[in-house]
Structure 1
Amino acid sequence: MEVAVMPVTAFQQNCSLLICTETRKAAIVDPGGEAEKLIATVEEANATLEQVLLTHGHIDHIGGAADVAAHFGVPIVGPHRADEQLIQGVATQAAMFGTPGVKVPSIDRWLEGGDQVSVGDLMFDVLFTPGHAPGHVIFVNHAHKFIVMGDVLFQGSIGRTDLPGSDHGTLMKSIFQTVLPLGDDYQFLPGHGPGSTLGAEREGNPFIVQGFEG
């Protein structure tokens, strides 16, 4: 498995290109903007894009999805349908953050916890992790112990819960009951900032440490 991380837009959102090294088939996760840059990265990697995957419906994760999917003629998959209202209201999000002109992506397949998505020979389990957004999902590859985390958990922090549809208690439940049980040796790529491991966050993330102590 190859993972190319492409921070995009002023939000510096970690869009990722997941490539199966055996087949060169690929998926792009959370193309938040700068579609031309992302398209060029796919082509330079000599990869065949099969789908666009979305962890959740916030503008910094979906802003370039429609353009990337249209260019390659591929489906947009995810997130959970609970984010449909967020996605349909992308113009409102754009006005809120001062980023007009974002296209509403048309979702070809909504995901549920327990679903799977394949990228060439790679298999990713879909886990439902609401809290930061009501329809947030993460993508877990157990063979490589790797998680595309979206905005659930960061190095030293957690996802915001002051946005419409977010809820702190729900997010913490997702972290403690769904994410951390995967195992300390799982590496993850968050939606913003550097990657980490679940073990490092269990030991040093103040939100998690306080949760354990509480």
Structure 2
Amino acid sequence: MKYQIIPVTPFQQNCSVIWCDTTLKAAVIDPGGDIERVLTEVNKLGLTVEKILLTHGHIDHVGGAQKLASSLNVPIVGPHIADKFWLDSLPKQSQNFGFPAVEVFAPTQYLTEGDEVNVGEQLLSVIHCPGHTPGHIVFFSKLSGLAWVGDVLFRSSIGRTDFPQSNHQDLVNSITQKLWPLGNHVSFIPGHGPMSTFAEEREHNPFVADQLLG
């Protein structure tokens, strides 16, 4: 699995263009905004986008999804249906966070634990990781040892749990019971900031390091 990270929106959210090197079929994960930049990168790479993938319903991750889907005539896939209330609140989110106005939309398909998503000949596993939001999902490429974790986990930090229907213990459980078993070798692309590995976070993350949680 190949990828290009494109920071978008004033929140510098890590939108990712991912693609199968054999077919040049691609997906865009979490297009929160700055869609022209995303389209420019897609064209530069010579890719054919098949779908848009969403990890969760916060505006900095989904704010450009409908516009991009319409531009490319592709489906929006994800997140888990438990984040429907976040997608339904997009007009209010745009006002609260000073984003351009975004209308309510529904994805073509919601995802759940155990689903799989194809990108060309590559396969992504879907892992439901509630905590930051109740419907947050993670996309995992076993073949590449790569995970797109949205706002579940960051380098040296974890997602916020002060939003409606957030839950700190659920978030810790998602990280330790669902992400860590994927393997210490796994590299992850968070929703914001630099990449890291599960090994690094298990050793040094001040919220979920192994020595802190026993």
Alpha-carbon distance, 1:211 to partner: 6.8
1:53-132 matches, within 5 Å, as: 53-132=53-132
Alignment check: 8 A CA contact 1:94 1:101 kept: yes
Alignment check: 8 A CA contact 1:62 1:105 kept: no
Q: 1:13-41 deviations in whole A, cap 9, x for unaligned? A: 00000010000000000000011111111
Q: Residues of 2 paired with 1:203 and 1:49: CA distance?
A: 37
Q: Residues of 2 paired with 1:180 and 1:95: CA distance?
A: 36
The CA RMSD measured in Å over matched residues stands at 1.1
Alpha-carbon distance, 1:209 to partner: 2.2
1:37 has 2:37 as partner: yes
Give 1:171's aligned amino acid: L
Alignment check: 8 A CA contact 1:65 1:105 kept: no
Q: Residues of 2 paired with 1:188 and 1:209: CA distance?
A: 16
Give 2:60's aligned amino acid: D
Alignment check: 8 A CA contact 2:25 2:47 kept: yes
Q: Residues of 1 paired with 2:211 and 2:174: CA distance?
A: 12
Give the structure 2 partner of residue 2 of structure 1: 2
Alpha-carbon distance, 1:162 to partner: 0.8
Alignment check: 8 A CA contact 1:116 1:126 kept: yes
1:143 has 2:128 as partner: no
> What's the % identity of the aligned pairs?
47
Q: Residues of 1 paired with 2:105 and 2:35: CA distance?
A: 13
When structure 1 is superposed on structure 2, of 150-159 and 100-109 the one drifting more is 100-109
Q: Residues of 2 paired with 1:177 and 1:191: CA distance?
A: 20
Q: 1:36-92 deviations in whole A, cap 9, x for unaligned? A: 111111111100000000000000000000011000000000000000010011111
Give the structure 2 partner of residue 159 of structure 1: 159
1:193 has 2:193 as partner: yes
How many residues in Structure 1 have an aligned counterpart in Structure 2?
Answer: 214
Give the structure 1 partner of residue 134 of structure 2: 134
TM-score (norm 1): 0.97
Alignment check: 8 A CA contact 2:24 2:47 kept: yes
Matched residue of 2:165: which SS?
A: coil
Structure 1's unaligned 5+ residue stretches are none
Cα gap change, 1:105/1:44 in structure 2, threshold over 3 Å: closer, same or farther?
Answer: farther
Alpha-carbon distance, 1:96 to partner: 1.4
Q: 1:99-145 deviations in whole A, cap 9, x for unaligned? A: 14123333000000000000001000000000001100000000111
When structure 1 is superposed on structure 2, of 124-133 and 36-45 the one drifting more is 36-45
Q: Residues of 2 paired with 1:210 and 1:98: CA distance?
A: 38
TM-score (norm 2): 0.97
Structure 2's unaligned 5+ residue stretches are none
Q: Residues of 2 paired with 1:210 and 1:140: CA distance?
A: 22
Runs of 4+ in 1 over 2 A off after TM superposition: 103-106, 209-214
